[in-house]
Amino acid sequence: MLEIKGLRASIDGKAILNGIDLVIPPGEVHAIMGPNGSGKSTLSYVLSGREGYEVDGGTATFAGQDILAMEPEERAAAGLFLAFQYPVELPGVNNANFLRTALNAQRRARGEGELDAVQFLKLARTEAKRLSMPDDMLKRNVNVGFSGGEKKRNEVLQMAMLRPKLAILDETDSGLDIDALKIVAEGVNALRGPGFSALVITHYQRLLDHIVPDRVHVLANGRIVKSGGPELAHALEAGGYAAVIPEAA
């Protein structure tokens, strides 16, 4: 699904990613853990095409396409979704309207038919219910006045509606209490299947208790320094990064 080779990237001339190699096969969930400043968020922004992030080398192929050459909206239509660490507020823009616009923009880009208001609302209500979101969240303005937990649930709702092939969850667990964490994890798990891959970026083992990854990677200084199964996350929890990153000791 996603194949990254020797990816290097910088912000304002400062190198952040120093040669990332990562393959996420279809249907797998991979976790990336690492200390602050290791490049986790940068990786998510480079993959999704945010301005200001300079690609200095390497390749990233997503579903057979060179995504680094695509506009952010083209990557989205190709099936790449980023759940933001800090979801953005859009004052005056109704949540349901935003979602429907996004969904139909993607469907149009893929040559699929658009959903009308009735079809859309039915789908949105079903998904919102599954995420224990009250209906009125759909009517409120995008992320405006949402609590931290509501914002993250809203990200997962968008993901559920947009049905991406690859979801990058950038510290989606930060600021969540345990109940919200479970709901978010259930939202992700519900999508798991042969056509869905995920890259879960997190600091903590606790999210991975609920979204059990196929692989865990440790990112340090812009490189993946260690990979393993779910047990690697447990080892990190027990021994800290020092145990796996020699230079961090």
User: Which residue ranges make up the site for other proteins (CB under 8 A)?
Assistant: 48-52, 71-73, 75-77, 81-82, 84, 87-94, 96-98, 100-106, 109, 117, 139, 141, 158, 162
- Cα–Cα dist 128/96, whole Å: 11
Q: How far is the CB of 72 from other proteins (least distance, A)?
A: 4
* 66 or 89: CB nearest other proteins: 89
- Are the CB atoms for 67 and 60 separated by under 8 Å? yes
Residue among 213, 222, 86, 220 nearest 154 (CA): 86
Q: Residue 83: beta bridge partners?
A: 169
* 54 or 237: CB nearest other proteins: 54
- Both structure tokens of 143: 């992320």
Q: In the block, which residue shows the tokens 């001339």? A: 13
Q: How far is the CB of 114 from other proteins (least distance, A)?
A: 9
Q: How far is the CB of 223 from other proteins (least distance, A)?
A: 25
Q: How far is the CB of 56 from other proteins (least distance, A)?
A: 20
- Cα–Cα dist 20/222, whole Å: 7
- Are the CB atoms for 219 and 34 separated by under 8 Å? yes
* 78 or 181: CB nearest other proteins: 78
* 69 or 117: CB nearest other proteins: 117
Amino acid at 4: I
